[in-house]
Amino acid sequence: MKTDQTTRRQFLATTAAAGVAGACAAPASAKPQAALGKAEHCIMLWLGGGAAQIDTFDPKQMGDAKAKNKKPGSYYPSIDTVVKGVQVCEHLPRTAKLLDRATIVRTVNHNVIDEHAAAVNRMHTGRPTSGTIVYPSIGSIVAHEKADRGANVPPYVIMGYPNLTRGPGFLGSKWGYIYLLETEAGPPGLKLPHGVSRDRQARREALVAKLREQYLAKNPDDAAVKAYSAVSADAYKLAGPKFMSTFNLGEEPKSLRQSYGDEFGQRCLLARRLVQRGVRFVEVAHNLNFINGTGWDTHNQGQLNQHELIIELDKAFSTLLLDLEKHKLLDKTLVVISTEFGRPPGFDGGGGRGHQSTAFSAVLAGGGLNHVGAYGVTDDMARKIVEKPVSVPDFFATQFAALGIEPHKELYAGDRPVPITDMGEPIKALFA
């Protein structure tokens, strides 16, 4: 007997058909593909400790740390830059003349305040720490996405502070970093032991390779040994004279080395040479020797000599931009100045500054971007965001997009899909 009511079987069939059609069509909520840049390399200058935006890239009215009521404000006067309406600290005069090649992102923000380690992790992985998964650092992701394995160079090099935050996380050891202790010595793990000739080293490598091969024949599912084997093979290739010659800074003109400045500057020079050789991501940590007593962590008396760091940064950063430009590498290389958080406008009991993550500055330069001098606006004390906030995921998405990496793609932790950013969106103005 016919009925106007839909039978259960008809309902299921109709629902299934609609589901198939929906699966074949693009979901209405799917994000459009972001505009992608063509940069091939990234050099990140890391200001460990938390650089004060109000004393560097987002200056405001002058404060007074010595006044009875410790008037909030900038510690140093500001100067104009080549970009109309954009000012920086007076100790950044060389950078000021090159700001048409860069963008100060003044509205980076996150919610980590008192924990340096957690904030460093946030600004290296783009995510909060998780108890179930170890996320890869931005350096490892760039290495994973951009590495040319036939280039016989490491895709990822660190000069500074090696730790888990900067590691490959779930991507695996193949996408970890090479760590440099001394600028001109090269990675210690790639140097031959004293008294060991290349022939002797080759025999050692052959013996180890044979033992490893025998082990894997009996234990084919040992992923850790497989990964270690791949990393070791790459390291042996890198130990040759061609790559190791990269560390001979004596090949550079004396005037250029002087322009870069002291140890931090020499590491920036080496970063340019590494990029020339084909390295995809280089992190150079600033304040290696705490030249002002506390580095960028300017609590109490650390504030007094902060200018020593700023002057050193100005010399190295400005020279790096011009040097990359001279070698026709600036449009191909994204240069990033990053830090874990900023500093509030007020002064503590010792005349220094505390922590602030509600608004702080980072810098993007080169990389073929459409630079605007400064992006985003903070209030009169650089404490709160007034216009154009940039979340950490947004900042990461912008870097990925500049490097031609789709910021909406997914990586995989085993079988588990993990978005490459935590729902970040690139800063569209830089890709116009």
- The string of pLDDT tens digits covering residues 141-171 is 999 999 886 678 899 999 987 888 999 999 9
Closest by CA position to 42, among listed 367, 339, 409: 367
How many whole angstroms separate alpha carbon 174 and alpha carbon 144?
Answer: 9
* Mean pLDDT value of segment 169-181: 91
Which residues are CB-neighbours of 113 under 8 A, at least 6 positions away? 341, 355, 356, 357
**For residue 107, how far is the Cα from the chain centroid?**
17
Bridge partner residues of 342 (DSSP): 356
Given this structure, which CATH class describes domain 34-186+244-431? Answer: alpha beta
Would you state the pLDDT for residue 215? 78
Would you state the pLDDT for residue 5? 46
Would you state the pLDDT for residue 16? 46
Q: Of 19-33, 72-86, 214-228, where does mean pLDDT reach its minimum?
A: 19-33
Would you state the pLDDT for residue 346? 96
- The string of pLDDT tens digits covering residues 288-301 is 778 888 899 998 88
pTM of the model: 0.84
Domain ranges of the chain: 34-186+244-431, 192-238
Would you state the pLDDT for residue 148? 81
More confident of the two residues 195 and 13: 195
How many whole angstroms separate alpha carbon 304 and alpha carbon 257?
Answer: 28
Packing angle of the helix pair 198-218, 223-238 (nearest 10 deg): 160
Decide if pLDDT at 186 tops 80: no
Q: Three-state DSSP class for 128?
A: coil
Q: Three-state DSSP class for 155?
A: coil
> What rounded mean pLDDT belongs to the chain?
87
Query: Which among 148-152, 254-258, 301-305 has the top mean pLDDT?
Result: 254-258
How many whole angstroms separate alpha carbon 282 and alpha carbon 158?
Answer: 6
Decide if pLDDT at 105 tops 60: yes
Would you state the pLDDT for residue 160? 84
Q: Of 30-44, 273-287, 408-422, where does mean pLDDT reach its minimum?
A: 30-44
> Position of tokens 């990140």?
44
Decide if pLDDT at 375 tops 50: yes
- The string of pLDDT tens digits covering residues 227-248 is 655 555 555 555 556 788 888 9
What backbone phi and psi angles, to 5 degrees, belong to 223?
-65, -35
- The string of pLDDT tens digits covering residues 336-363 is 999 999 999 999 888 899 999 999 999 9
Would you state the pLDDT for residue 197? 60
Query: CB-based burial of residue 149 (10 Å sphere; 0-12 exposed, 13-18 middle, 19+ buried)?
Result: exposed
Packing angle of the helix pair 392-402, 138-146 (nearest 10 deg): 30
> Position of tokens 């031959």?
192
Closest by CA position to 57, among listed 37, 100, 30, 86: 86
